[in-house]
């Protein structure tokens, strides 16, 4: 099964600072996923990265996890998140994973 993670930083492209509370970004991300009718999970993490200019940035990041979603939908979701969150780009990581369910039996 294919697993996709989309990493969306919350610092604004122009101001390099987070403009809104994280809960507002989470709400918007959820609305995007509901609009595409895809199953999802999301995590809030803290991280850092280096811009192409060499500038180092730390920020809050949302990690959207999707399973078995078509590439076209992944790209459209990523583009929407870029636009809505005012980002230069978002990071998309995909790969094959083994998935199985475990349940408690009596």
> Which pair of structure tokens corresponds to residue 17?
């600072």
| pLDDT per position as a tens digit, 14-43 | 999 999 999 999 999 999 999 999 999 999
Q: What angle do CA 44, 2, 58 make, to 5 degrees?
A: 25
Number of domains in the chain: 1
Asked if residue 104 belongs to a domain, the reply is no
| pLDDT per position as a tens digit, 69-92 | 999 999 999 999 999 999 989 999
Segment 32-61 shows an average pLDDT of 92
> Is residue 26 within 8 Å of residue 18, measured between CB atoms?
no
Q: Which of 99, 102, 92, 83 is nearest to 29 (CA)?
A: 83
- 């094959």: which residue's tokens? 96
CA–CA dist 30, 40 (Å, integer): 8
Does pLDDT of 12 surpass 90?
yes
| CATH code, 67 | 3.30.70.120
Does the pTM surpass 0.85? The reply is: yes
Asked if residue 106 belongs to a domain, the reply is no
What pLDDT is attached to residue 106?
66
Does pLDDT of 62 surpass 70?
yes
Domain ranges, residue 30: 2-96
């Amino acid at each position: 099964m294919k697993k996709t993670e989309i990493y969306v930083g919350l610092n604004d492209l122009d101001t390099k600072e987070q403009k809104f509370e994280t809960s507002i970004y989470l709400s918007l991300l959820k609305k995007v996923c509901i609009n595409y009718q895809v199953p999802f999970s999301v995590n809030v993490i803290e991280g850092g990265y280096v811009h192409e200019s060499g500038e180092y940035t730390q920020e809050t990041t949302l990690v959207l996890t999707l399973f078995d979603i078509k590439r076209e939908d992944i790209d459209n979701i990523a583009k929407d998140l870029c636009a809505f969150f005012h980002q230069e780009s978002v990071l998309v990581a995909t790969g094959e994973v083994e998935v199985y369910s475990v349940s408690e039996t009596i």
